[in-house]
């Protein structure tokens, strides 16, 4: 893998990732851009203790640009974009409208130069290159002063709230440990105290022993619908050897991963039958906090879920979910797993 670092006209960093060393990426950004937005405010909720990010500058971010005006396509035919090169394999850039700026950092990961592609449609080499970019950025962002957790994720589909349709994901480098992760770590610590064992290892072992919710399994990975799944269709993908983050994966697990991740996403697209529009989803890598005293109790895993519960209906976070954080799932996890297994045969 070759990484080429450069800067955009407003000073933001841009990294090109190429599978081979001989590729040159030296096109300058000639746009007359104003200074990049900086500064967000972190506020602590006095009742819950959660951190809320105030980022008012995001009201002006790019929103459903017209055809031919995608900012993540390469710069071609005299139309400048966020990517100055005329072509690219994988590109990572600082977000022009970041949710976290000053404290923390937000980056955009462009999976391909093809506007109408998808992560599931990438070939093995390109998907492995995206994994290499996630790993590289996780290592570099984790080393930044003040960064406490790195989250690599993809939002896909208008139903999720996506405003740019180009195949891309994001990386958030949080200056705090997220509330969800704090709760998981507390559960892991209590389980260790009670049993002397790892919570994550016991969860995976229980799912493998039960078998009803297993979606697919490789030599180095296991994917299953969680016993208490919140979303209509939700899959967790765990390496068999527990590691804290992407940087700690060994060679065999790293080699097997891209194919399994793309297969999960392909099955999501087949859930609702031929002719159904692409399934909206969130796909995110949960990684251990950088400096937390319980870091070694956490286990890297991928979570993929969709808000679509049937072909024409969405799962809305209404009163119970939004108001009280109590999820009500219309699809039994065992039925969801069976449907995802069936999707492999379509």
- What pLDDT does 7 receive? 97
Task: Say if residues 153 and 283 touch (Cβ distance below 8 Å).
Answer: yes
Res. 289: pLDDT tops 90: yes
Res. 292: pLDDT tops 90: yes
Domains 2-174 and 179-345 share a fold: yes
- What pLDDT does 103 receive? 84
- What pLDDT does 48 receive? 96
Catalytic machinery residues: 168
Render pLDDT for 156-180 as a digit per residue (tens, 0 to 9).
999 999 999 999 999 999 999 999 9
Answer whether CATH 3.30.428.10 is correct for domain 179-345: yes
Mean pLDDT score of the chain = 96
Name the band, by pLDDT with cuts 50, 70 and 90, for residue 89: very high
Name the band, by pLDDT with cuts 50, 70 and 90, for residue 70: very high
- What pLDDT does 245 receive? 98
Res. 22: pLDDT tops 90: no
Least confident residue range of 35-39, 86-90, 175-179, 289-293 = 35-39
Render pLDDT for 103-124 as a digit per residue (tens, 0 to 9).
899 999 999 999 999 999 999 9
User: In the CATH scheme, what is the homologous superfamily, with its name and number, of domain 2-174?
Assistant: HIT-like (3.30.428.10)
- What pLDDT does 60 receive? 75
- What pLDDT does 20 receive? 93
- What pLDDT does 303 receive? 98
- What pLDDT does 293 receive? 97
Instruction: Kindly list the domain boundaries of the chain, sorted by start residue.
Output: 2-174, 179-345
Mean pLDDT across 34-40: 81
Name the band, by pLDDT with cuts 50, 70 and 90, for residue 39: confident
- What pLDDT does 35 receive? 87
Residues that constitute the known binding site for Zn(2+): 70, 73, 115, 166
């Amino acid at each position: 893998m070759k990484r080429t670092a450069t800067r955009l006209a407003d000073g933001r960093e841009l990294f090109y990732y190429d599978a081979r060393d001989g590729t040159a990426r030296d096109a300058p950004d000639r746009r007359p851009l104003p200074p990049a937005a900086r500064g967000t405010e972190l506020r602590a909720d006095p009742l819950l203790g959660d951190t809320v990010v105030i980022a008012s500058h995001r009201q002006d971010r790019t929103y459903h640009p017209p055809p031919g005006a995608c900012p993540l396509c390469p710069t071609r035919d005299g139309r400048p974009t966020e990517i100055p090169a005329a072509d690219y394999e994988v590109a990572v850039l600082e977000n022009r409208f970041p949710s976290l700026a000053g404290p923390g950092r937000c980056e955009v990961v462009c999976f391909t130069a093809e506007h109408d592609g998808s992560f599931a449609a990438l070939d093995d080499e390109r998907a492995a290159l995206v994994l290499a970019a996630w790993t590289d950025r996780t290592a570099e962002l984790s080393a930044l002063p003040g960064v406490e957790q790195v989250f690599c994720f993809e939002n896909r589909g208008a139903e999720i709230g996506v405003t740019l349709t180009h195949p891309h994901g994001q990386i958030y480098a949080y200056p705090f440990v997220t509330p969800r992760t704090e709760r998981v770590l507390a559960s892991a610590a209590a389980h260790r105290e009670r049993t002397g064992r790892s919570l994550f290892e016991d969860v995976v072992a229980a799912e493998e022993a039960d078998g009803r919710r297993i979606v697919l399994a490789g030599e180095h990975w296991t994917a299953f619908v969680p016993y208490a799944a919140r979303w209509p269709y939700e899959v967790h993908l765990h390496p068999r050897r527990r590691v804290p983050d992407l940087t700690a994966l060994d060679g065999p697990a790293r080699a097997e991963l891209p194919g399994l991740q793309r297969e999960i996403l392909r099955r999501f697209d087949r859930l609702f039958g031929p002719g159904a529009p692409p399934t909206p989803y969130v796909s995110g890598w949960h990684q251990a906090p950088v400096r937390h005293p319980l870091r070694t109790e956490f286990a890297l895993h991928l979570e993929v879920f969709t808000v679509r519960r049937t072909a024409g209906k969405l799962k809305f976070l209404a009163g119970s979910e939004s108001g009280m954080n109590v999820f009500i799932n219309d699809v039994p996890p065992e039925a969801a797993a069976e449907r995802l297994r069936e999707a492999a045969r379509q």
